[in-house]
Amino acid sequence: MSAAPTECLLRLYDEHHELEDYQKGVTRWCPGCGDNAILTAVQRLCRTENLDPVKTVFVSGIGCSSRLPHYMNTYGFHGIHGRALPIAEGVKMSRPELTVFVNMGDGDCCSIGAAHWVHAIRYNMDLTVMLHDNQIYGLTKKQASPTSPIGLKSNTTPKGAYLEALNPLTVSLGVTNVSFVAQVVDWIPEVLYDVLHAAFLHKGLSFVRILQRCPEWLPNMLDPWVQDPTRVKLLYHEDGIKVSPSVAKVYTTTEEHDPSNMNRAREIASEVDPVPVGILYRNDDVPCYEDLRRDPTLRTPQFVKGGLEAEFDKFTIWPEGEEH
Amino acid sequence: MDSKDQALIAFSLTGKRTAAHVEPIKDQGLKPALFARYRNLSELRYDYPVVLLPTGYESLSKRVDRAIEVGATGGDPARVRKHAYQIEKGVRRLLASGQKGSLSKLWATAASQVKAKAEEGFDDSAKRVGQALRPDGELLDCSPDVARTLFSHAWSVAQDKKAAAYRDRAERLLLRLKDILKADLVSSVAGRTPENLAQGFGSSQTDMFDFAAMSNLLVRTTPETTLSESRRKRIEWLVSVLEYQRFFQSDRASGAAPYSFEFETCHKALKAYQERAAEAIELAKALAMAELEAYGDYRESVHDALFAGYGARGLDAQDLKVFPDYYVFERADRLDGNETEAVLQALASGVPIKVIVQVDDLWDPTSLGDGMLGLSSKTRRLAHSAMSLGDVFVFQSPASHLVATEPALSKGMSSTNGGLFLVYSGTGGVTEGVPPYLVAAAAAESRAFPVFSYDPTEGSELADRFDVAANPQADSGWPAHTVSFEGPNMQRLEEPGAFTLVDFAAMDGRLSDHFSTVPTDSGCLAPVPEFLDKTFAVVPDSVPSIPMVDEQNRFVRVIADDWVIRETKRCQGWWRNLQEWGGISNSYADRAIKAERQHWEAKLAEAKQSATPSASAAPAAVVESAPEPVAAEAAPAAVVEEKPSDDPYIETERCTTCNECTLLNNQMFGYNENKQAYIKDPDAGTFRQLVEAAEGCQVGIIHPGKPRNPKEPGLEELIERAKPFA
C-alpha cells in the first residue's frame, strides 16, 4: 500500500453520486431556455467526476443564467452584477481544494464585468467559466447586450443596435495568459457536455462561451443555425474533442483543429457562419495565479491580528512620549 | 635457489627469521610507500575538515571552491582564488593545532594571520569569499570522534525535517479543527450571550451598544444545525491529542518534556519504544482522523468502527514515518551477545531505529586465545544479518569516506526503514605517526573495511539495492597504484603494484612480527596480487613483498609471512562477494552469458553445416504495400442511415432538456438518467400531443410516428402536420 492511511480510507468509502444528488428545486427558466441544457450538462459533469457536493461551488453574477447555483445541490454564491469572477477567485484563493464553477450571462460578463473578465483570464486561476450568451438581457425584459447583433431591436435599441456585436472569443484569445477558450451551442448537448468536461479537466481558467437560445425574447434568432446543421462547424482533434457517430450523422461540417494552434484559433474565433463549435485554444503550461502566489504561512488568528495591527499602526497618531 | 632466498621463503612459511638479512620491522616507523606523499595532511586539500550545515555536511574544500565561484564574479578571479586558498590552508592549520569553532570564525582568524604576508586586494578577496561561504557551520576535522558527530548531525537533520513536517501538518489541522469549534460557538446560543458579544466587539466604545438587546435578537436567529455532540467531543479530543503529544517539541506542551530519542543501547531504545507505543498509536490515529475531520470527510457510520481498532496490530510504515527515529550509537568492542541480539531484534521488529556501530579496531583476538589477532568478522556478521532481514538500510564506510558517501548516509538517515550504519574510525590500532584519516582510508583501500550500502527502497532486486561503487577502483580485486622512488643511481624508478590487506596489516605495530625487511635486490620477491594468484606444487619460489618507506621516506622492501597471506585471502573472498552483490563480475550472469554464447555458437555452426542454396535461404520478399491508413479516432465516423419507425421516438442524445415536452405531458415524455427526454409511454397521451411536442421541440428531435388510436379525432390533419417529423 503506497497511499497514506487516510487517503486509503477515503477511497475505500468513496461516495458515489447520482445525477439527483446535484439537483435542487424546480427551474424557473422559460421552457425552451438554453440554461436548462447547460444545467443538465453541468450536473452530468459533476456525476461523471463524482464531485463532492460540499466541495463544489457555483458562483454567478446577476441575470437569468445566474440563477444556476440555485438549482445545484452544492455550495453556491449568487453574487452581484458583473462580479462573479472576483468572488470566484477569492473562493479559489482561500480554498484551493474546492472545485469552482462560474456562470455568467453576456451582459454580466461582457459589459459590467468586462474588466474582471479580462483580468481573470490573465490571472488564469483554476476555474471553469461558462458564458451563457443569449445575446440579450432577458431577466430585465429585452435590452441589448454587448453581444447583441447589429440591427437587433430591443427596448434600449428600438431602431436597432448600432454597433457590431462584441466577440467574446476574440477578446479572450487576445488576453495575455489565456489558457483555454471554447465555444459550444446549447442545442448539441453531447458536444456541450464534452467541451465542459474538457474545460473542467483543464488546469487554469477555462472560458466556454455557450451560444444559447432565449425563447422568450429572441425566439427565432438562432433558428437558422438550429435548423440547418450544416451551419454548425464542429472542431475536432485528438487533443480536443472527438465527435461521436450520432453527432457526425447530423453535423457534417467539420474541421480538424489543433487547440495548441493560436493563430488558427484566432481565425476560427472570428468566424460567425458556420458557427464554430469545439475547443479553439488550450495551453496547459500557463501558470495559475493561485500557485504563483501560494503562501505556506498559516492564517492563524495571531498572524492575521499581527498583520492588521501592523497596518493600523502606520496610521496611528501616538500620544506624545508614548513608544510605539 | 640461493641461501639468501631460502631464508626469505622460510620466513614467509614460518614467520621465523633465520638469517641476518631478514630483519624485524618493529620500531622502524615504516609506513606503506603509498603514504609517502601524505605526511602532513594539513597542507593538503582533501575531504576533511567538514562543515556542519543545517541540511547536512560538506567538505571545506568543496565549499570554498563554490564560494570562490561566487566571489570571483566580482572581478579578478585569479587573485580571489589565490587568496582564498591561502586562507583555507590557514584554516586547516588552525584546526590541526587544536583550535575549534565555526567556519566564519576560523576563516576570519586565518585571514588575519595570512594578511600580514598578503598582497593588495587580500581583504576584498577574504570578504567576498567569506560572504559566499554562508550558511555558517561548525568545522570538524577527522578526529577520533568525527564519525559520532557526523552521524549524530545527519540524524538530527533528518529529525528536524520530520519535526518541521509534523508541526506544519499539526498547525494546519489544529487551525481547521479550532475553526470548526469556533464557528459552532459563534452561531450557538452560548456564543451569543451579551458577554460573548461584548467580548467579540473589542475593548473600546462598548457602552454605545446594548449587547443584551443584541443578544436577544441574535439568539432568535440561531441556525438550527449545530455540531452534533459526538462530533464536538471528537474534535476536542483531536485537538487535545495533537497539542499535548510528546513526540515533538511543542509550544503547547502540557508541562511534560518531549521524549528523547537518543539511547546508549538498543535494549533501552526498544524498552522506550514499547512504553510509548500506545501514545504513538493514539497520535497516528488522531492525525488520520483529523485529516478527515478537518475537510468534512469524517463519516461516523463508516469511520468510527475503522478507527476503533486503529493500530491494534501495530503501526505500518506510512504511520511510523511521521515519528522521530530512535538513535543508538554503539561501539563494536562493547557489543556483547545480548546487545548484538537487541540490535538485530530492534531492526527486525520494524522499529524506526538507526543504529550506528563504530569499529575502532579491525583486528580481534582469534579463538585460539594465544594472543594472535585476526581480521575482525564482527561487523561482517552484523551487516550480513541485517541485510538478510530484507527491509533494513545497511551502510558501511570508514570515517575517511563519510564525506564522499554523504548522500547515501543522509538517505539512510531519512529512510522510513530501520537502519544499521557501520563505521571504522581508524583509531584503535597501533599506527603511530599515521593520522586516523589515513588509517581509515587504508582500510577501504585494502578492502579490510569496504564501503557499501544496501537500500531496500531502491528496488526489488539486489542489483538495485546493493552498491559498492564508492570503493576505490571497485571493479578491481585490489586498487592498482604505481610507486615512484629513487634508484641506486639516483634515477627515478616506478613500480606498479596494488594496495592490499598486507599493506594495511603492515601499518599496525601489533602485527610487526609477521613482517620483515629484506634487501631491495632480493630475487624471489613477488607483488602480493601476483603471489596470491600463484599455485605452488611443493615449495614456493617467491615471497609476497610490499613497498614501504621509513621515517626519512627511504624505500624499503618488506615481506609478509603466511598468516598475513591467509588473512588477505579471507579478505579477498569477502570483497569478491560484495562485488558480486554489487553486480560486478557477477558469476551467475557470467555463466549465463557463457552458456548462451555456447548455445548460439553451436546453432550457428549447425546452420553453416546444413546450409545449402535454396529458396528458403533467399531474402524475404519486401512488403511493398503500405499498411491500411487508420482513420483518426477523433474524426467523425460514418453512420448507417436508420429507417423511419411507425412508433414515436425521440433522438434522446440530442435533447437539450428544455422542458417543452415534459410540461406538455409528463406521463408520455420523461427524462432518462442523463436528464434527456424519451418516450416514456406512447399510450399515455394522444397523437395530437405527440405532434404538438414535435412542433414545439426547438431542436426537432421528436418523431410522432403513426397514430396508435385510429379513432382519435382530427387524425387526417394531424398526420399531415406530422409529416415533416417522420
The CATH number covering residue B695 comes to 3.30.70.20
B107, pLDDT greater than 80: yes
Exposure b/e, B667-681, CB count within 10 A at least 16 = b: ebbbbeebbbbebbe
Mean pLDDT of B242-254: 80
Which of helix, strand or coil describes residue B342?
helix
Nearest to B270 by CA among B222, B332, B342: B342
- Considering chain A, what is the average pLDDT of its residues? 93
pLDDT confidence band for B58 (50 / 70 / 90): very high
For B194-222, what is each residue's pLDDT tens digit? 988 888 777 777 788 899 999 998 888 87
pLDDT at B411: 94
Inter-chain contact B316–A1, Cβ cutoff 8 Å? yes
**Does B371 reside within a domain?**
yes
Residues 6+ apart with CB under 8 A from B291: A6, B173, B297
Which among B588, B605, B624 is the end of a domain?
B588
Mean pLDDT of A245-267: 94
| Residue B672 dihedral angles phi and psi, to the nearest 5° | -85, -170
Residue A324, C-alpha cell as written in the block: 510605539
Inter-chain contact A246–B699, Cβ cutoff 8 Å? no
pLDDT at B540: 81
Indicate the range of A145-149, A173-177, B427-431 predicted with least confidence. B427-431
pLDDT at B116: 58
**Does B623 reside within a domain?**
no
Residue B357, C-alpha cell as written in the block: 556501530
The complex's ipTM works out to 0.79
How many CA atoms, within 13 angstroms, populate the side-chain half-sphere of residue B71?
28
Inter-chain contact B700–A234, Cβ cutoff 8 Å? no
Nearest to A187 by CA among A299, A87, A41, A88: A41
Q: How far apart are CA B73 and CA B162, in angstroms?
A: 37
Query: A254-256 and A232-236 as β-strands: parallel, antiparallel, unpaired?
Result: parallel
**Does B611 reside within a domain?**
no
Residue B152, C-alpha cell as written in the block: 549524530
Inter-chain contact B296–A19, Cβ cutoff 8 Å? no
Residue B104, C-alpha cell as written in the block: 566564519
Q: How far apart are CA A225 and CA A214, in angstroms?
A: 14
> What is the SS3 assignment for B531-577?
HHHCCCCCCCCCEEEEEEECCCCCEEEEEECHHHHHHHHHHHHHHHH
pLDDT at B253: 52
Give, to the nearest 10 degrees, the angle between helix B60-71 and helix B122-132: 110
**Does B382 reside within a domain?**
yes
Inter-chain contact A40–B663, Cβ cutoff 8 Å? no
Name every chain A residue with its beta carbon within 8 A of the beta carbon of B655. 189
Q: Tell me the nearest-neighbour CA distance from A223 into chain B, angstroms.
A: 8
Residue A117, C-alpha cell as written in the block: 473578465
pLDDT at B35: 84
Which among B553, B573, B588 is the end of a domain?
B588
DSSP run (H or E) holding B380: helix B378-388
Nearest to A185 by CA among A220, A229, A129: A229
Q: Is B213 on the interface with A (CB under 8 A)?
A: no
- CB burial class (10 A; 0-12, 13-18, 19+) of residue B274? exposed
Give the closest of B297, B319, B675 to A10, CB-based: B297
For residues B516 and B574, membership in a common domain is answered with yes
Percent of chain A with pLDDT over 70: 96
Name every chain B residue with its beta carbon within 8 A of the beta carbon of A39. 657
A13-291 topology per CATH: Rossmann fold (3.40.50)
Q: How far apart are CA A133 and CA A104, in angstroms?
A: 8
Give the closest of A188, A236, A299 to B635, CB-based: A236
Mean pLDDT of B526-539: 83
For residues B457 and B492, membership in a common domain is answered with no
Q: How far apart are CA B383 and CA B359, in angstroms?
A: 13
pLDDT at A12: 74
Give, to the nearest 10 degrees, the angle between helix A114-123 and helix A84-94: 30
Name every chain B residue with its beta carbon within 8 A of the beta carbon of A251. 636
Q: How far apart are CA B376 and CA B397, in angstroms?
A: 15
For residues B433 and B498, membership in a common domain is answered with no
**Does B135 reside within a domain?**
yes
- Rg of chain B (C-alpha set): 41
Chain-centre distance for alpha carbon B638: 56
For B675-720, what is each residue's pLDDT tens digit? 999 999 999 999 999 999 999 888 889 999 999 888 888 889 999 9
pLDDT at B629: 41
For residues B170 and B279, membership in a common domain is answered with yes
- Best of A228, A239, A249, A256 to substitute, by most chain B Cβ atoms within 10 angstroms, is A249
pLDDT at B624: 42
Q: How far apart are CA A260 and CA A282, in angstroms?
A: 6
pLDDT confidence band for A321 (50 / 70 / 90): confident
Mean pLDDT of B348-370: 86
The CATH number covering residue B445 comes to 3.40.50.970
- Rg of chain A (C-alpha set): 22
Helices and strands in chain B, H and E counts: 24, 24
Q: Tell me the nearest-neighbour CA distance from B700 into chain A, angstroms.
A: 8
B631, pLDDT greater than 70: no
Helices in chain A by DSSP H: which ranges?
5-12, 34-48, 84-94, 106-107, 114-123, 168-173, 189-201, 223-227, 245-250, 262-269, 289-292, 301-314
**Does B535 reside within a domain?**
yes
Give, to the nearest 10 degrees, the angle between helix B122-132 and helix B77-96: 70
Q: How far apart are CA A223 and CA A241, in angstroms?
A: 25
Give the closest of B291, B633, B637 to A245, CB-based: B637
Q: Tell me the nearest-neighbour CA distance from A21 into chain B, angstroms.
A: 12
Which of helix, strand or coil describes residue B513?
helix
pLDDT at B643: 52
pLDDT at A323: 62
Inter-chain contact B175–A27, Cβ cutoff 8 Å? no
For residues B183 and B309, membership in a common domain is answered with yes
Mean pLDDT of B136-147: 90
For residues B234 and B276, membership in a common domain is answered with yes
Q: Tell me the nearest-neighbour CA distance from B304 into chain A, angstroms.
A: 12
Percent of chain B with pLDDT over 70: 93
**Does B209 reside within a domain?**
no
pLDDT at B121: 84
For residues B312 and B326, membership in a common domain is answered with no
Residue B436 contacts residue B142 (beta carbons within 8 Å): yes
For residues B338 and B268, membership in a common domain is answered with no
pLDDT at B76: 84
Inter-chain contact B292–A190, Cβ cutoff 8 Å? no
Give the closest of A9, A243, A254 to B292, CB-based: A9
Inter-chain contact A44–B675, Cβ cutoff 8 Å? yes
For A90-100, what is each residue's pLDDT tens digit? 999 989 999 99
> What is the SS3 assignment for A141-187?
CCEECCCCCCCCCCCCCCCCCCCCCCCHHHHHHCCCCCCEEEEEECC
Q: How many domains does chain B have?
A: 5
For B397-412, what is each residue's pLDDT tens digit? 999 999 999 999 999 9
Residue linked to cell 462573479: A84
B292, pLDDT greater than 80: yes
Q: Is B297 on the interface with A (CB under 8 A)?
A: yes
Inter-chain contact A19–B292, Cβ cutoff 8 Å? no
pLDDT at B626: 42
Percent of chain B with pLDDT over 90: 47
B561, pLDDT greater than 70: yes
Q: State the residue range of the domain holding B680.
A: 649-725
Which of helix, strand or coil describes residue A233?
strand
Give the closest of A32, A187, A251 to B660, CB-based: A32
Give, to the nearest 10 degrees, the angle between helix B77-96 and helix B60-71: 150
For B8-17, what is each residue's pLDDT tens digit? 888 888 888 8
Which of helix, strand or coil describes residue B463?
helix
Query: B353-359 and B326-331 as β-strands: parallel, antiparallel, unpaired?
Result: parallel
For residues B364 and B378, membership in a common domain is answered with yes
For A277-293, what is each residue's pLDDT tens digit? 999 999 999 999 999 98
For residues B426 and B519, membership in a common domain is answered with no
For residues B34 and B61, membership in a common domain is answered with no
Q: Is B657 on the interface with A (CB under 8 A)?
A: yes
For A12-49, what is each residue's pLDDT tens digit? 777 789 999 999 999 999 988 999 999 999 999 999 99
Mean pLDDT of B298-317: 85
pLDDT at B293: 93
For residues B566 and B653, membership in a common domain is answered with no
pLDDT at B157: 95
- Considering chain B, what is the average pLDDT of its residues? 87
CA distances from A239 to A44, A311, B186, B706 (A): 22, 49, 50, 44
Instruction: Please indicate whether residue A71 or residue B366 has the higher confidence score (pLDDT).
Output: A71
Residue A59 contacts residue A101 (beta carbons within 8 Å): yes
**Does B56 reside within a domain?**
yes
Indicate the range of A246-250, B150-154, B165-169, B535-539 predicted with least confidence. B535-539
The DSSP bridge partners found for residue B243 are none
Q: Tell me the nearest-neighbour CA distance from A101 into chain B, angstroms.
A: 20
Chain-centre distance for alpha carbon B579: 21
For residue A206, count other CB atoms closer than 10 A to its CB.
25
For B704-713, what is each residue's pLDDT tens digit? 999 988 888 8
pLDDT confidence band for B615 (50 / 70 / 90): very low
pLDDT at B442: 94
Which of helix, strand or coil describes residue A61?
coil
B281, pLDDT greater than 50: yes
Give the closest of A27, A44, A254 to B636, CB-based: A254
Inter-chain contact B318–A1, Cβ cutoff 8 Å? yes
Which among B265, B288, B318 is the end of a domain?
B318
Q: How far apart are CA B455 and CA B678, in angstroms?
A: 62
B541, pLDDT greater than 50: yes
Q: How far apart are CA B551 and CA B365, in angstroms?
A: 29
Mean pLDDT of B532-554: 84
B72, pLDDT greater than 60: yes
Q: How far apart are CA B155 and CA B149, in angstroms?
A: 10
Name every chain B residue with its beta carbon within 8 A of the beta carbon of A98. none
Residue B8 contacts residue B559 (beta carbons within 8 Å): yes
- CB burial class (10 A; 0-12, 13-18, 19+) of residue A72? buried
